[in-house]
Amino acid sequence: MDAYDPKQIEPKWQKFWEDRGFFKVKEDPSKKKYYLLEMLPYPSGRIHMGHVRNYTIGDVACRYRKMRGFDVLHPMGWDAFGLPAENAAIKQKTHPAKWTHENIDTMRAQLQSLGFSYDWDREVATCDPDYYRWEQLVFLKMFAKGLVYRKASAVNWCAGCETVLANEQVVAGKCWRCDTPVTQKKLEQWYFKITDYTEELLNDIDDKLQGWPERVKAMQKEWIGKSEGCEIDFEVEVSKEKIRVFTTRPDTIFGVTFMALACEHPLLLKLAEKGGCKREIEKFIAKTAKIERMKRLAGEYEKEGELTGAYCLHPVTKARLPIYAANFVLMDYGTGAIMGVPGHDERDFEFAKKYNLPVKKLEEFVEAKGLGKKTVTFRLKDWLISRQRYWGTPIPVIYCKKCGIVPVPEKDLPVILPKDVSFSGKGGSSLAKHKAFVETKCPQCKAVARRETDTMDTFVESSWYFLRYISPKYNQGPVDPKEAAYWMPIDQYIGGIEHAVGHLIYCRFFTKVLRDLGFLKLDEPVKNLMTQGMVCLGGAAMSKSRGNIVDPDQIIEKYGADTARLFILFAAPVEKDLEWSDEAVEGMWRFLGRVWKGTVDRGPWTMDQQKEAWKHKTIKRVTEDIEKFHFNTAIAALMEYLNSGEMDAETMVILLSPFAPHMAEELWAILGRKESVLKQPWPQWDPKFLENQTMQIVVQVNGKLRGDFEVDAGASEEVIKQKAQELEKVRAHTAGKQIKKIIYVPKKLVNIVVC
C-alpha cells in the first residue's frame, strides 16, 4: 500500500493477534507478573468515548509491559446484573437475559475493533450462575460468621426503580440510576457488616494505599468519617429510659438546654405518646421525610422541630430538658440523638432562637468523671444489599415458620434465577410472584417454606470480579488460592473517580472478608490506582441524556482505531477531563499518515551523533512518560522526533506500537521484520548520547517556588508547560482553581498564575 489505509490494516492484525493467542496468559514464574485491570463495563448496548478512553489507557500499559518482558494479565468481563436491563426488558417486552447477552456481543465486537489486548479466555459475566454461585457461597459463610444480618429500618427508597438504595447510591437526594427523588421507607433488609472493618479500612488508606491518588484517599477517609468523642446518657423523666448521645464536645455538657431526636429514632413515637403529642410528631415525621436526604446532610433547609411533650434530665444538674423531634438530626449519624448546646453550636443556636429555648455560655472544661464514656463513631454504616428487583443474584436464604431464617445448604448452590418470569415494572419484584421459585421446603425440618425474593445489590458482584478473572474455570471456590497468590494484588487499576466511595470501598471490604474466610492471603486488592477524566463535548460530559455523544464506531469507520486511540490519549493528561475536538482527530490522522509516509518512503538511515542523540532522548522521554501514564507528552515526544528529520524508522515504530498498534505491526512488516513488533524488547537509551541534552526547569505557582523537573533541551514550550502542571506539588496548589495564564521563561522557569 502506498497510502495509509486502516480499513485494510486493522482487521488483518486483530485476526493475527487472536489466531496466535498473543494476549492469552498463564502463570510464568520466570517473568515478573503484572495484573492490569480497567473497571468492567455495564453492558448497556454500545460503548461510548468514556469506555474508549479508559480501555485505551489500559491497552497502552499492557502492550508496553509485555514488551518490557512482564507476564501481563489483562482481562475483560461484564457487570451484567442490574436495573437498566430489567427496565429495558419491561420497555421493549423482552427478557433482561436476552437484552444483556445481545449487548455483550455488540460491545465485545466494538472492543475488539479497537485492538484491545484482552485475554478473552478469562471473560466473565456476573449474571451467569457459574459466577454468582460463588457469591452466594461467600454470603453463606459471612452469615455463619455474623457478617450478614437482617433488620427492619428506615431505608432509602426509589419509587422509580421500586427498590432500596445504599447511601452511596443516593446522589444529590436522587437515585443514582434514574434521578427519581429518594424518600425514606421502613423495610426488613439484608446488610453486610462492613462496620466491623471500619478501623482497618481507614488505617490501611495511609499504610497500604501509597499508589492511590490523594484525592481518592481523602474521599474515602471522609466517607468513613471517624469521629472521637463521648457517649453520654440522659435519663427520660417519667419512664427512666435513657437517651444516649454522641458528642465531640463533652466539655459543653453544662450548656445543654434541650434534647433533639431524629425522626427515625426508636423512642420518638413512644415519648410523644406519653407526652400527649403523638399526632403532631407523626405529622412532623411525614413532613421531614419529604426533605431530600442530601439536603438534610448539607443542612440546606430550614431547621425545624416539634415538641414531644416529654422531658429528660440533665445528667449533672438534673434540670428538665425538653425533648424535640428535629429535622436536622439523622439516625445513621452518631446515635440519632443530640444534646442541644446553643451557646456553642451555630445550628443549635439557630434552633434555640426559633423555639425560644435558653442559651447558656460557659468556659470550656473537661466533663466530670463518670458522666460519659470515651468512644469513636463512624459515618460509614453497614452495607444494605437487598434489592426488590428481579435481575440480580438471588439471596440464598429460606424462611420457615418453625425454623426461622435458614441458609440454603452449600450443596444446593447455586440458587438459580428463574428465566420464566413476567415483567410489568409495577407492584414489586417479579421474582416474588414466581410461585415455583418462592415455594420450597425447609432444609432442616422439610416443612413448606418460602425463598427470599430480594436480590443482591449489583455492587456485590463488582466487589470481587477481579478475583474470578484469575481462575474463571475454578470449581472449588470463588478463586484458586494458588493463582491468587501469584497474580494479586492488582498492579494497576484504572477507572472513574465516581467510584471512589462506592465500588472502591466495597472491593476493599470484600477482599478483607475473603481473607478472613480463608480464600485469600491479602489485605488490599489494588496496589496502584489511576482515575481517568471524562470525555466532554462543549464543556459538558458526554451522555445520551444530553444528546452530545460521539459514536466510536463512526470515528473508527472514518479514521480507524489507531487515530481514535491516539487522539483520546493526546488530547489531555489521563487524569484530566478531555474536550472532544474534530480538528484534533484530524490532526492525529495526519500525524499517522506522515509516520506512514516517512517509513514507507524512507531512504538509507546512516548513524551520526545528532541522529543518535535524537533517538536516545526520544526513547528516554517516551519510556519515562509511559511509566508515569503521561501519554500525551509521550506522543508529543514522538511528534517532535518525526519533525526532527532525524527519525530512525525502526525506533519510531517500536515506540509508537503501544499507542497505534495496528499501523505499527504493518510498518514493522514493511520494514522486513518477520516477528510481531510486540515480540520486540522495549528499547533502552544510552546515557552517553544524552550529555548536555537536558535542562532544569523551576516551577512557580503565583510566583512561589513549588518544584522543579528535568526535561530534554529540545522540548517544546507546550511540553514544558504540561510537565510543569503535572508535578504533584504543583497540582496540590492548583487543584480546584482557575489557571489564568502560564508564563514560560525559556530554559529557566514556568510560573502558573491561578485565582
What's the grid cell of residue 247? 458528642
Q: In CATH terms, is domain 694-754 a member of 3.30.70.1140?
A: no
Helix axes 609-627, 649-656, angle to 10 degrees: 0
Q: For 186-200, what is each residue's pLDDT tens digit?
A: 889 999 999 999 999
Q: So what's the architecture of 226-378 in CATH?
A: Alpha-Beta Complex (3.90)
Amino acid at 368: A
Sign of the C-alpha dihedral, residues 174, 180, 182, 187? negative
Ramachandran assignment for 358, one of left (phi > 0), alpha (psi -120 to 50 degrees), beta (any other): beta
Q: For 442-491, what is each residue's pLDDT tens digit?
A: 999 999 999 999 999 999 999 999 999 999 999 999 999 999 999 999 99
Q: Say what the pLDDT of residue 366 is.
A: 37
Distance CA 486, CA 610 (A): 45
Q: In CATH terms, is domain 31-133+459-535 a member of 3.40.50.620?
A: yes
Specify whether the CB–CB gap between 520 and 138 falls below 8 A: no
Is pLDDT at 297 greater than 70 in this prediction?
A: no
Q: Angle at Cα 284 formed by Cα 279 and Cα 290, nearest 5°? A: 135
Is pLDDT at 426 greater than 70 in this prediction?
A: no
Closest CA to 40 of 374, 506, 462: 462
What's the grid cell of residue 153? 429500618
Q: Say what the pLDDT of residue 207 is.
A: 96
| Edge-first strand listing for the sheet containing 529-532 | 71-73, 33-38, 492-496, 529-532
**What residues contact 603, with CB distance under 8 A and at least 6 apart?**
none
Q: For 549-605, what is each residue's pLDDT tens digit?
A: 899 999 999 999 999 999 999 999 999 999 999 999 999 999 999 999 999 987 666
Whether 226-378 shares its CATH topology with 694-754 is answered: no
The answer, as to whether pTM is greater than 0.95, is: no
Q: Say what the pLDDT of residue 167 is.
A: 74
pLDDT band at 712 (very low <50, low <70, confident <90, very high): confident
Sign of the C-alpha dihedral, residues 356, 357, 362, 364? negative
Q: Say what the pLDDT of residue 695 is.
A: 86
Average pLDDT, integer, range 361-377: 62
Beta strand extents in 412-491 (DSSP E only)? 439-441, 448-451, 455-456
Q: Say what the pLDDT of residue 365 is.
A: 42
Which class does domain 542-688 fall in? mainly alpha
Distance CA 502, CA 523 (A): 18
Distance CA 433, CA 565 (A): 48
Distance CA 474, CA 130 (A): 10
Q: For 25-44, what is each residue's pLDDT tens digit?
A: 999 999 999 999 999 999 98
Kindly state the percentage of the chain with pLDDT values over 90: 71
Q: Say what the pLDDT of residue 591 is.
A: 97
Q: Say what the pLDDT of residue 550 is.
A: 92
The domain ranges of the chain are 31-133+459-535, 134-193+383-458, 226-378, 542-688, 694-754
| Edge-first strand listing for the sheet containing 535-537 | 540-541, 535-537, 578-579
Please state which of the ranges 202-216, 282-296, 714-728, 734-748 shows the lowest mean pLDDT: 282-296
Specify whether the CB–CB gap between 351 and 340 falls below 8 A: yes
Q: Angle at Cα 618 formed by Cα 612 and Cα 619, nearest 5°? A: 90
Is pLDDT at 168 greater than 80 in this prediction?
A: no
**What residues contact 467, with CB distance under 8 A and at least 6 apart?**
478, 479, 484, 488, 514, 520
- Mean residue pLDDT of the chain comes to 91
Q: Say what the pLDDT of residue 299 is.
A: 57
**What residues contact 362, with CB distance under 8 A and at least 6 apart?**
252, 254, 255, 343
Beta strand extents in 330-417 (DSSP E only)? 337-340, 372-378, 383-384, 386-387, 397-400, 404-407
Is pLDDT at 738 greater than 60 in this prediction?
A: yes
Amino acid at 377: T
Please state which of the ranges 4-18, 169-183, 264-278 shows the lowest mean pLDDT: 169-183
Q: Say what the pLDDT of residue 351 is.
A: 83
